[in-house]
Amino acid sequence: MQRIAEITRTTKETDITVRLDLDGTGEAKLDYPLGFMAHMLNTFARHGLFDLEIKARGDLEVDQHHLVEDTGLVLGQCFAKAAGDKRGIRRNGSCLFPMDETLARTAADVSGRPFLFFEGGLSGVPLVSAAPESASGPGNGPAELSFQTDTVEDFWLAFVNAAGVNLHLEIIRGRSDHHKIEALFKAAARALRQALEIDSRAANGIPSTKGDLAGPGVIV
């Protein structure tokens, strides 16, 4: 059974296409205008062993919020669609992920009941990096691009609501916002990978006493 989904969402604010294979090798093909977020999506695919293709555009002249949030929404929709009736999955997964000075803890329940606990300990200060040379102004050196770290929680909230997943994301300790966000993406990927793996002892069953895990998640 192939667990693959592709969804396009087009609004006046964003245009996003996501293709997801839950049983991939961790390959990511990303056409994404925010470098830091592309880095997070790439590491999410690699650690989850999800094959992920994303092509996205958004009204970045307004804010990064619309694009980042809608990316989480479409990705969550793909997870819900690819998982189908969730037959045979382990359902739960967790990960304790160290990254240098940072330690992240994540637990996931693919229950059909969306919930997010997010405690990232982020400073709220944007992460700044140099733009590509083509974006430099004449004689002004490289332009600066910043990533709004407050959109990370928006991404995950949109994801859980669309995927129908209960997800707890927590930084136990850390200093660098970059490390904190990246550790959370890696831990979440590994927890979701574990939760969505097929349990060979119960490959034909729904892991719920109710016999149904559809819930209110957005299944497209």
Picking from 129, 32, 119, the residue whose alpha carbon sits closest to that of residue 75 is 32
Cβ atoms of 162 and 109 closer than 8 Å: no
217: in domain: no
The tokens for 60 are 């970045």
Q: Is residue 206 part of a domain?
A: no
Query: Within a domain: residue 33?
Result: yes
pTM given for the model: 0.90
51 inside domain: yes
pLDDT in tens for each of the 220 residues of the chain? 799 999 999 999 999 999 999 999 999 999 999 999 999 999 999 999 999 999 999 999 999 999 999 999 999 999 999 999 998 899 999 999 999 999 999 999 999 999 999 999 999 999 986 555 444 444 444 445 799 999 999 999 999 999 999 999 999 999 999 999 999 999 999 999 999 999 888 777 776 666 666 765 444 3
Cα distance between residue 135 and residue 145, in whole Å: 10
- Number of domains into which the chain is organized: 1
What is the DSSP pairing of strand 28-31 with strand 51-58? parallel
Furthest-apart CA atoms within the chain: distance in Å:
66
**CATH code of residue 62:** 3.30.230.40
In a domain, 11, yes or no: yes
Range of the domain at 81: 4-196
Q: Is residue 212 part of a domain?
A: no
Residue 214 lies in a domain: no
